[in-house]
Structure formats: C-alpha cells, structure tokens
Amino acid sequence: MFRVSLLPAAFNNDWLFQYGNQLNDYLIRSVPRSFNNGTCNCVTSDTCQESLRIGPPNFFLPGLVKGCSPIDGLQMSTLECFFSSKCIDTILTYLEYYTQMDGSPPISFVPPTVLPMIVHPLDNSISSRFLSNTSVDILISKLFVEQLNTTISYENYFKSCAPSICRYEYERQNDILYVATSVLGLYGGLTIILRFITWNSTVLLQSFTNYLRMRRTIVRPTA
C-alpha cells in the first residue's frame, strides 16, 4: 500500500521527502530510498534490505536488517543478535541514540553507565529444529512450534461430548452404469405396477358392468 501511495512510513525506510528550492520545479516530493549502494529501491521490490545499525557508524546488529517497512525488515531478520549478551547490551546502550534530521550524530548523548534493564540472551544450548540464522518469516510460518504432537481418542471425545445421536453421510458421484440400472429398475417396477393396476381395473370394471346388467333384467310371470 505504501509503495502505491508513495507515502513514507513512520521510520522513512521506504520513501524520503525531498524539499526543493528556487532552482527546482517542485516544492516537495517523495523519493524512494535506495539500498545496497543504489542496487535496490522500494519502487521495484519490497525485499530490499540493509544491515540494521544502531548508535555510532559501523555499529551493526548481526541478523537484524531494515527493509522497505518495519514489518518487512522484521520478517527478513533473524534472532542471531538475541543469542549474544554483547549485542543485547549494545541495543540497550543506544536506545536513546537518535540521529538528527541531516543524519549527523546527536549533540548531547552520553552512554548510560547502568543499563535501563537486564535482558538475558537466548540459550543456544537448548536443542531446537530452528537454527539461529532462521528468518523470522519462517518462524512465523511455522507458528514458532518446535514439535507438534497429535493424539486422537474417540472414546474420550464421546465421553466429553456425550452425544445422544451419531449420524454420518456418505456422498458419492454416481457413474453412468449406476444411473442406467436405476432407470431400468424404475421402468421395470413401474411396468409391473401399471400391469397390476390395469388388470385389476379391468376385472373390477367387468364385474361392475355385469352387476348393472343383472339389475336391469326384467322378470315377467307366465300365465
């Protein structure tokens, strides 16, 4: 969305505002930020990345990168830095280190003598299926799950749910042979039923006709 709208993100990772002067034909414009010495920019790709720096120049954090947006940088980063006490202490030391608008270092920054908090590094000795250089994007796709065990017990399910009735349906697509035999069977059944109805109707009609004829017969006495 930000690439389409040309709006810079909060950290200006993707686009920069460039101000014009009397020699330019613009007052302000959005300029895409270039990565890796101009070989990649956020107009053509959202996978541009550079090593994340904190504090003075050349203070790079291993495994952490910045991308076209904070979420892109997070997904492409790894957790290598958080396995190192030194890397974590560097982050805590320069949390308040903000560069000025022109990129120059802060005027009145003094590294703290006591860190604001104590953060223990991740234990690299714990067995894991993920390596320390596994990207956060892969960790998210795997839901950070080391091992997923599935246990199925229908007995416990029925005990817990206590269903009063159990019903299942079986659906299948009938083939041409099944359809043909069903039609022929239906035709044969209808033929037998029609024959039965026709025969009995004929017998009933004949009996009724004979009955009417007997009722109409006139008996005359002889002298």
Instruction: Domain ranges for the chain, please list them.
Output: 2-141
Q: How many whole angstroms separate alpha carbon 219 and alpha carbon 28?
A: 126
Q: What pLDDT tens digit does each residue of the chain (223 aa) get?
A: 445 444 455 445 556 666 666 666 666 667 777 787 778 887 788 888 889 888 887 789 999 998 888 888 999 999 999 999 999 999 999 888 776 655 677 777 888 888 888 999 999 899 999 999 999 999 999 999 988 888 888 888 888 887 777 788 877 777 788 778 888 788 787 788 888 888 888 888 888 787 777 766 555 555 5
Question: If you ran DSSP here, which 8-state letter would residue 16 be given?
Answer: E
| 3-state SS record for 23-82 | CCCCCEEEEECEECCCCEECCCCCCCCEEEECCCCCCEEEEEEECCCHHHHHHHCECHHH
**Which residue carries 């223990």 as its tokens?**
120
First to last CA, the chain: 122
Overall size of the chain counted in residues: 223
135 class by beta-carbon count within 10 Å (0-12 exposed, 13-18 middle, 19+ buried): middle
